[in-house]
Each structure stands twice: as structure tokens, then as C-alpha cells.
Structure 1
Amino acid sequence: MAKTLKRAAAFTALGRALMSGARGGPSMGTRLAALPRMLKATAKGQYDGGMRVALMAAATAYVISPIDAVPEAFLWVFGLVDDAVAVTWLAGTMLAETERFLEWERATKPAVVR
């Protein structure tokens, strides 16, 4: 029973984070909209997230590549564990890095005077 309640609480927290941003943070829509700007600023050398962006790209390529099908073909469930770890790391890193980028963006933008 306790395991079911923990799972329900985890899904509730995830749903809240996806809809409105956890702990007052940016919403998922804001984070996803920031990704192209983050990539552009990183490519121009303005934002210092180059290594993290490269690691996120590598994790994405690993999960969607046909090479990743080899462990699943031979090890079934155990082969899926590496995907779960990669996707979990990728999601957490994406959340942390987009929040960091949005804070950097706010700090570097000049204040709008009315």
C-alpha cells in the first residue's frame, strides 16, 4: 500500500512540474522554448554550457540510435535498463540546464525601462 502511495505522489509531483513548474520554477513550455536559444548561445560561445549540451546530444543519439538495439536484442529487460538510465539522466539534466540557462539569460539581458 505504501509503495502505491509513493508512486501516486511521484506521478502527482511530475504532473505538477510539467504543468506549472516545480517550486515556482519555469514551466515545461518555457523550458522547451529555451532549448533553441540555449543551443544558439552555446554555439556562439556566449553561454558556457557547451560540455553539458554535448553530453545531452550524445545521450539523445545513444537512445535513438540503432546501435542501442543490440543490448535489447540479447538482454531484453536488462538491455532496457541502460535506456532508462540514459533517459532519466537526460531529463534531469535538461531540466537543470534549461533552468540555469534561463537564469543566465535573465542576468545578461538589460533591464527594460518604461
Structure 2
Amino acid sequence: MPRTLQRTAAFTALAKALVSGSRGGPSIGKRLAALPRMLKATAKGQYDGGLRVAMMAAATAYVVSPIDVIPEAMFLVFGLADDAVMITWLAGTVLAETQRFIEWEKQRDAVLPGSVVG
């Protein structure tokens, strides 16, 4: 199979997996839409993701920080490796935390306010 065709097939498969949520979880679109709600619920103290959200913010700040350009300039590939690790961790954490938040929302919405369970 030609290299261009392999690359196109790989990107097509990745796009389908991200959009459809083929592993049974929410799609990327639903997860990204949940991110602002998660931040708001965390800021209000309704959702217990405070430390994880803070770590995600710190990782994002680290990757986009202009100070991080120095290791890339000095060590080239090795300087980029720390960014690759951080971005990989951040992507995984965002995916896991947004799925957890969406499940939390479903559980919270399933309980009727003022109802007595017992």
C-alpha cells in the first residue's frame, strides 16, 4: 500500500474513533463540550475535580510557556520529549476526567431534588 494511502487510512480511522466514541465512551465532541461545564462545576465546588483540573491547567501552562523554548533550543529532540510526554499525559487526563464528569452529571441528573430514598 502506498505511504500516502496508509497515512490517509490511519487518519480516517483515528477520526472515526474520536468522533464516534467507538470504545463505548462519549465522543470527543461531547467531551470537549463537557469541559467548560466541568470547570464551572469544579469552581463552584459541586464537582470534586479540583486537583485534577489544577494539574491539567499547570500542564497546559507548561507546554505553552515561552520558558519551555530553552530546552528545545538546547537539546532539540530531547527537549521536545518532555513536551510530548506532557501532551500525552494531558490528553489522557482530559479524556479520562471528562468521561468521569459526564458520568457524574448523569448520576446527579438521575436523582430528583427533594426525593427521599429509603
CA positional deviation for 1:19: 1.5
Quick one: which amino acid aligns to residue 59 of structure 2?
A
Structure 1 position 18, deviation (Å): 1.1
Change (3 A) 1:51 1:9: farther
Match of 1:94 in 2: 94
TM-score, normalised by the number of residues in structure 1:
0.84
One-letter amino acid of the counterpart of residue 68, structure 2: D
In structure 1, the residue matched to 2:83 is: 83
**Unmatched 5+ residue regions in structure 1?**
1-6
2:62 maps to 62
Q: What residue number does 1:23 align with?
A: 23
Classify the secondary structure of the residue corresponding to 1:54: helix
After superposition, the CA RMSD in angstroms is 2.1
Matched, 1:52 2:52: yes
Higher helix content, 1 or 2:
1
Runs ≥4 residues deviating over 6 A: 7-10
Q: Distance in 1 between matches of 2:57 and 2:108?
A: 25
SS at match of 2:48: coil
Could you tell me the TM-score, scaled by structure 2's length?
A: 0.81
Amino acid across the alignment from 2:98? T
For residues 1-12 of structure 1, the aligned pairs below 5 Å read none
The alignment covers a number of residue pairs equal to: 106
